[in-house]
Chain A
Amino acid sequence: MGVERCGTGAGGGKTLPCQILVCPDCDLLLRAKRPRPGEKLCCPRCNCVLDAPVENSVEKTMALSLTGLLIFPPAIFLPLLTLDILGLENTGSIYSSAQAMVRSGFFFTGIAVYITSIIVPFVKLLLLFLVSLQIQFRHSNAATLFMFKTYKRLDEWGMLEVYMIGILVTIIKLLHMAKIEYDVGFFCFIGLLSATLLSSSFLDENRFWNEIHAQMLEKEGKAGEVEVEAQPGSNGPTESAVTK
């Protein structure tokens, strides 16, 4: 933890390469160099995380999103729990819970459950897998850009971890009423949740944007000026970002 200052250009001594950043949360103009993997670049004024590189981000994200996609169908369609009241058995899966909501006449609520617990999590994993695959094989194009943007938009609306707590609350609610058995779907769901959470925590956004942009420029034949270079001038930013 320390404040790292890079060269200010005008003064003497050696000037380190650094880029100009603008904090997206408070609009402070900053100069900083890219932090090393594991470090975080933070805005000194509002503490917004500006950049948090991850080592081998593309490979890790690709592997985890593929894992998530493979485990997705059993986690959603296989029964999570079996309820046993007086010898009568009943099972429920994530899919059947959304369906039950629609069937009991709550169309809007049912659709919301479908979207937040099935459609968005699946689309998110699929998009992340395709984007990292295209970056890995240097095939980024306009579609990659669109997919990554869509992923960013959908990010908040996938609510698997909320559903997980929902399952736990349901178990506690029913515990004294009936015998509960945990089924295959329950364990697959935990796997799916872990894969989703890990894949998004290994995602190095800045790297993804830069890679997509550089590869697209390469295709167009322009040797890219990707980074915005710091220009020494009177209007330059006065503060440096803090590396943690």
Chain B
Amino acid sequence: MVCHECHMVVPMPQEGKGQASVYCPRCGCPVHARKPNSLAHSWALVITSLILLFPANLLPIMKVDYMGASEYSTIMDGIIYFFKEGSYGIGTVILVASVLVPVFKIVGIMIILLSIHFRIESWLEHKTLMFRFIKFIGRWSMLDIFVIALLTALVDFGFLSTIAAAPAAPFFCGVVIATMLAAEVFDTRLIWDAAAKSHGQHEEGRGE
């Protein structure tokens, strides 16, 4: 077994000793062959973020007060605005970071989870690569929240013009946090278990 905190190799407990927990001699963390209940936790968090995704995208995320008139805009409105203005670069950055990344993360984790459920043995390397990519891009969706926070602080001219967040902001934050946690609790080794069973490389299989 390998300690998931510090990657130290720890011998498997002898069979028959029951399910006594093993602790890593180097960092003291409990060591498991697989993260406990990894699939259930990942599913729960992915479904949570899927539910939160709808209010996050459909409700307005930003409120602009200009000369006393309030104007609400959703994430898509902001992107369309940039494309109309001709700022294609920045429009694409926001489109990728705040719409495509969350959707890709949720769909990607669901594909991986489903393929584990149906024991699909192909594309293992690609699934691992995709998961690493999902983990890497996870934090970049916070971009929109930071932009709004900074705009709120900067554009604060009383009656003339103010910018504030709108109801979608907490939902959007929730999506980012839930997907990051879903990636955190997921155990990549589960992807490989399907293949290991047929090739006999699995650690538990070796003892025979």
Which A positions have Cβ atoms within 8 angstroms of B? 20-29, 45-48, 50, 80-81, 83, 85-86, 88, 90-93, 96-101, 104-106, 108-110, 112-113, 116-117, 145, 148-149, 152, 156-157, 159, 162-163, 165-167, 169-170, 172-174, 205-206, 209-210, 212-213, 228, 235
Contact = CB atoms under 8 A, between A and B. Distances in A.
A116 B141 CA distance: 12
Contacts, number: 177
Given A83-B154, A162-B142, A172-B87, 10 more contacts: A21-B9, A22-B1, A22-B2, A26-B188, A28-B192, A28-B201, A80-B150, A97-B154, A206-B7, A209-B8
A193 B160 CA distance: 34
A65 B140 CA distance: 23
A228 B145 contact: no
Contacts of A98: 149
A41 B155 CA distance: 49
Contact of A99 (B2, B25, B153): B153
Contact of A172 (B90, B135, B184): B90
A156 to B, nearest CB: 6
B50 interface: no
B1 A170 contact: no
Nearest to B6: A209
Interface SS of chain B: helix, strand, loop or mixed?
Answer: helix
A92 B154 contact: yes
Interface stretch (B13-21, B112-120, B161-169): B161-169
Contacts of A174: 151, 154-155
Interface string B184-208: 1000110111001000011100110
A108 B173 contact: yes
A47 B28 contact: no
A172 B87 CA distance: 9
B153 A46 contact: no
Of B6, B153, B184, B201, most buried by chain A (CB within 10 Å of CB) is B153
6 contacts: A21-B2, A25-B128, A27-B202, A112-B145, A159-B146, A235-B206
